[in-house]
């Protein structure tokens, strides 16, 4: 692991680090905010998964999460959204390839060699973090935006024993039924519909739900709302009688202005579960 940068931030440290990833077979970069409390021992962890076109840097610099995480004594992890570098497959479209890993393990060529973002986020990066930093593996929560909201929901429902709470900003809720999903899942996973279903939060909610609190916010003026399909998640949550708060925020769009407006509430929501 290499230190790219470390900056004092709200009494803690905002770091950027790179490492060779076994999961992707590439060098990967991530951001990690450690609050002041990490100097004295392990602190709870909130994972933030970013959306299409993003790197580790977007949420790290735009979401305003560090101020609220510092107040609550939480660490923040900002992974990248795809493998990078020479020899990594890409596509001319912004919503496939680099910046658009969709948090799955690709099985189809040319993606399968490097696009193993599920394993990266759930196995490779956690192992590195808990070995090298003062983080508490027993107190983890997860959130994300757009494609990252899709990732947060599906990962939390697949690994409920790991995460005490889950939240999402403008998540892609039902990718097997949306153009933001069918395209990517078909490219990365091929025609195996069962493999697609394992990465659809609506289908996972119907099948298993999540053993913990859930918070989801979407803006009523979100320019991609027909692709996000929040109404499908609302219906599935109701049918599952899932412990949840799902809100449509009037006037907000898909941008980081929206994310930053509600970040304080999401961090406080997770802190309540992590310190319970």
Domain coordinates in residue numbering, the chain: 2-274
CB 121 within 8 Å of CB 155: yes
Residue 119 confidence (pLDDT): 98
pLDDT in tens, 205-250: 999 999 999 999 999 999 999 999 999 999 999 999 999 999 999 9
CB 205 within 8 Å of CB 237: yes
Residue 236 confidence (pLDDT): 98
Residue 188 confidence (pLDDT): 98
**The tokens of 20 are what?**
């060779």
| Burial class for 234, CB neighbours closer than 10 Å (0-12, 13-18, 19+) | middle
| Burial class for 104, CB neighbours closer than 10 Å (0-12, 13-18, 19+) | buried
178 closest CA partner among 142, 229, 136, 130? 229
d(CA 47, CA 180): 22
Fold of the 2-274 domain:
Rossmann fold (3.40.50)
The beta-strand segments (E) located in 122-220 are 135-144, 163-169, 214-219
Annotated catalytic sites, by residue?
146, 222, 254
d(CA 19, CA 234): 39
Cβ neighbours for 182, distance < 8 A, ≥ 6 positions apart:
175, 176
Q: How far is C-alpha 53 from the chain's CA centre?
A: 14
Between β-strands 2-9 and 12-20, what pairing exists: parallel, antiparallel or unpaired? antiparallel
Residue 197 confidence (pLDDT): 97
**The tokens of 152 are what?**
């947060």
d(CA 21, CA 1): 10
pLDDT in tens, 12-43: 999 999 999 999 999 999 999 999 999 999 99
Q: Which residues of the chain have pLDDT under 50?
A: none
Residue 9 confidence (pLDDT): 98
User: Model-level pTM?
Assistant: 0.98
DSSP state at residue 57? H
């Amino acid at each position: 692991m290499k230190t790219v940068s470390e900056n004092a931030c709200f009494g803690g440290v905002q770091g950027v680090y790179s490492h060779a990833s076994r999961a992707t077979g590439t060098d990967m970069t991530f951001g990690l905010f450690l609050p002041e409390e990490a100097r004295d021992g392990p602190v709870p962890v909130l994972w933030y998964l970013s959306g299409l076109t993003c790197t580790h840097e977007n949420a790290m610099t735009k979401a305003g999460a560090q101020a609220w995480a510092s107040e609550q004594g939480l660490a923040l992890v900002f992974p990248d959204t795809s493998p990078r570098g020479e020899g990594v497959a890409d596509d001319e479209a912004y919503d496939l390839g680099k910046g658009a890993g969709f948090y799955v393990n690709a099985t189809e060529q040319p993606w399968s060699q490097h696009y193993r973002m599920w394993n990266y986020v759930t196995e490779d990066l956690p192992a590195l973090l808990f070995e090298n930093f003062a983080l508490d593996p027993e107190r983890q929560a997860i959130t994300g935006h757009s494609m990252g909201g899709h990732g947060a929901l599906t990962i939390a429902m697949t690994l409920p024993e790991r995460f005490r709470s889950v939240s999402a900003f403008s998540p892609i809720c039902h990718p097997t039924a949306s153009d933001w999903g069918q395209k990517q899942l078909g490219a990365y996973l091929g025609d195996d519909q069962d493999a697609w279903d394992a990465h659809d939060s609506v289908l996972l909610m119907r099948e298993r739900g999540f053993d913990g609190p859930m918070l989801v916010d979407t803006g009523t003026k979100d320019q991609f709302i027909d692709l996000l399909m929040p109404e499908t998640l609302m219906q599935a949550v109701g049918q599952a009688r899932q412990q949840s708060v799902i809100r449509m925020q009037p006037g907000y769009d898909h941008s980081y202005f929206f994310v930053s407006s509600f970040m304080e509430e999401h961090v406080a929501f997770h802190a309540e579960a992590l310190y319970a």
